[in-house]
Each structure stands twice: as C-alpha cells, then as structure tokens.
Amino acid sequence: MSFKNFPMVPRVVYGRGSSQQVEEIVEPLRKNGYPIIYFADHCFKGKKLVENIPVKRNDKILFIDTTEEPKTSDVDQIRNELKEEFGKVSGIIGYGGGSVMDMTKAVSLMMNNEGSSADYQGWDLIKNEGVYHAGVPTLSGTGAEVSRTCVLTGPERKLGLNSDFTPFNQVILDPALTHDAPKDQAFFTGMDCYIHCIESLNGTFLNAFSKSYGEKALELCKKIYLEKPQWDDESNEDLMMASWHGGMSIAYSQVGVAHALSYGLSYVLGIKHGVGNCIAFDKIEAYYPEGVRDFKKMVEKFQVEIPKNVCSDLSDDEMNKMVQVALSLSPLWENALGKNWKEKMNEKTVRELYEKM
C-alpha cells in the first residue's frame, strides 16, 4: 500500500483587491534581467484588468486564445517563441480561467523540459522543475488553482501533465476579478466545482481528507446555487473558496462518470470542460441520483441552456473514438464504480449514455 504524497500550493493570497499585490510579489523574482511573462485570457484585451497588470522593463503580456482548450501544440509554440525572444524568463503569471491556468502551468514546465509537451502527458513524466509560475483566477470552479495537473489536448489523447512540479508556486485569490465573467460561462465553470464534489463524495476512493474538503465545497455550492435568492458579492467569494476546496478534495480522491464522459465530448467535439460536464451530468442520474436532482434545480434557477443532441450527427468512427477516450480513463471509473468497474461499464453502455446527450 502506498499513500499519495502530493505537493500543495505553498503560497496563497486571498482577498478582495489582493491582485493589486502582484507587483510586490513578482519583484523579488526577477533574475538577471529576465522578464516576467503575463498570460491573460484574450477576452481581457483592452479591458481594465490588463491596465492593472504590473508590466515593467522587458516584461510582456501574452494574450491566450481560449476559444479552444489548450493543446500540446499551443504550449510548444509559446515555449519556443519565449525561448527565442528571451532565452529565459523569470516567471509566468496567468490571469484567467482554467484554460489560462493550465497553459501557465504547462508552459512554465516546458521552459525547462526538452521536446514536446505531448511526451509528458501522463503521470510523473516531467523531469525538471519548471520556471516560477503563479495563478490569478478570474473564473471560479475548475480547481486548476490547486491541482497537480494541467490538462492538454494532444495528438493522441486529452490528458494532463500530472507531476509534483505542476502546482503553482503562488496563487492570488481575488474575488473581485470574477465579477464580470459572462453569466453562462461562470455557471458552467461553477458547476465543474459542484460536479467535482459530487463525484469525489460518491466515489470509492473517498477518505476523511477528501471528504472534509468536499463537504465544505458542496455546502458552499448549495448555498450559492440553491439557497440564496440571488447572486451577490459574497457568492463570488464563496465560489472561489468552493473551487479551492473542491480541488483539494479531488487531489486525494478522483472525479467520476461525468468527467470521463466529458473528456470524450471534449476530445471529439471540442466541447469545453465545464459545458461537457453539464451535458454529461444531466444524463447520469442513475449514478448520482441526488446530485443530478439538485443540479437540475440549479440549471432551472439560473436559466442556463444545456446544449442538447450534441452526439446526434456523429459518424461511427467519431462515436467509437469518443467511447474509447471515455473508457481509457480507468482511475475515474474505478473511483465511481469500484475495482470491478469493467463488469459494470462497457462500450455499449457508454455509447447509450452518449446517445442521450
């Protein structure tokens, strides 16, 4: 028996307005005149957030296109361009949602690891520590700010660079930054957190460590999505902490059925993680009866449209690929259904679930 020995984010700042502290945090990091690189979601181009990024000397802001989730080829390209332009960098600070968080982690790792990021998709394949990297979330829910992975779509698979070097060196949690997110996007990302809780708390990997975090996160999700009459500033603060706790909960357990199916939707159809989770979760009441019942109430209350019939025009090949991607994620199925999960889940059942979506 071997127990996980996983790293946690060593430094965290929390508070409304705390992102103003980025300047003072990065100043001591500058090494030999190498720049600080700021990644920002492309939706912030020309917005107030960008004016608050403390660019100095040869620092640079790179806008990250998040129309699609990060690909290994994007990571390699940005790494190559940064190396060509600067040789080395002092650190990378990412402002954005899960995609920018993951891109920040991946590029920082690849600055110090040879070859393509696709070679490192998996568990503990990264050889060298990355450059300093910090995350400033502007959307809450994915748990990317605490996780030991950064999920990338590669030529063969959608899988993260899971390693002890992956977690951020610093996270800045400023709930004021999550105010202006588009309503639907914020909802789908928030539901990612809710689904992390349900899948963790109903999984066979559950233990007191992940349960304590998962229960707190679920309590916060229920408060903001079911109990409160409307969304307010406190809801942004609560969701930011729910995301953190949800991430901590799955760090010591695992996600489950919705995530496995969502990975397939994302790989074949390019559907974003949060949206794919909702499409899948909506149809799996057989596995999470209570969780799905409450989820439907949340969708109704927040008047969000879950995409329908997304699998209706798939070719046989595409459907097969989707089923194969979902079934390849054995730790997720084992968490959801137990060690003998293959007796309970097969190609036919996965296909039938997809056909309902």
Could you list the residues that contact Zn ion (CB under 5 A)? Answer: 192
- State the minimum distance, in angstroms, from the CB of residue 253 to Zn ion: 13
The one-character DSSP state at 274 is H
Residue 274 Cβ vs Zn ion, minimum distance, rounded to whole Å = 7
Q: Which residue shows structure tokens 């660079």?
A: 161
* Cβ closest to Zn ion, residue 79 vs residue 148: 148
**CA max distance for the chain:** 60
- Minimal distance, residue 56 CB to Zn ion, in Å: 35
Q: How many CB atoms lie within 10 A of CB 344?
A: 12
Give the nearer residue to Zn ion in terms of CB position, either 41 or 192.
192
What CA dihedral angle connects 247, 249, 250 and 256, to 10 degrees? -120
The residue among 280 and 311 lying less far from Zn ion, judged by its C-beta, is 280
Rounded to a whole number of angstroms, the minimum distance from the CB of residue 259 to Zn ion is 6
- Asked if 146 contacts 8 with a C-beta cutoff of 8 angstroms, the reply is yes
- Considering beta carbons, is residue 35 or 203 the nearer one to Zn ion? 203
Continuous H helices in 153-228: 183-201, 208-222
In the complex, least distance from residue 94 CB atom to Zn ion, rounded to whole angstroms:
18
Residue nearest to Zn ion (CB): 192
Cβ atoms of residues 70 and 102 within 8 Å: yes
CB 111, min distance to Zn ion, A = 26
Give the C-alpha separation, 273 to 165, whole Å: 23
User: Residue 338: CB partners within 8 Å, gap ≥ 6?
Assistant: 204, 344
Closer of 192 and 238 to Zn ion (Cβ): 192
- Min dist CB 82 to Zn ion, Å, is 28
If one counts every other C-beta atom within 10 angstroms of the C-beta of residue 218, the result is 23
What's the rounded Cα separation, in Å, for the pair 70 and 81?
16
Cα–Cα distance, 145 to 9 (Å, whole number): 8
Choose between 76 and 192: whose C-beta lies nearer to Zn ion: 192
Minimum CB–partner distance for residue 208 and Zn ion (Å): 22
The Cβ-side half-sphere exposure at 212, using a 13 Å CA radius, reads: 3
Nearest-angstrom CA–CA distance, 132 and 152: 20
Hey, what are 197's tokens? 């809780």
Residue 174 or 192 with smaller CB distance to Zn ion? 192
Q: Is 98 or 175 the residue whose CB approaches Zn ion more closely?
A: 98
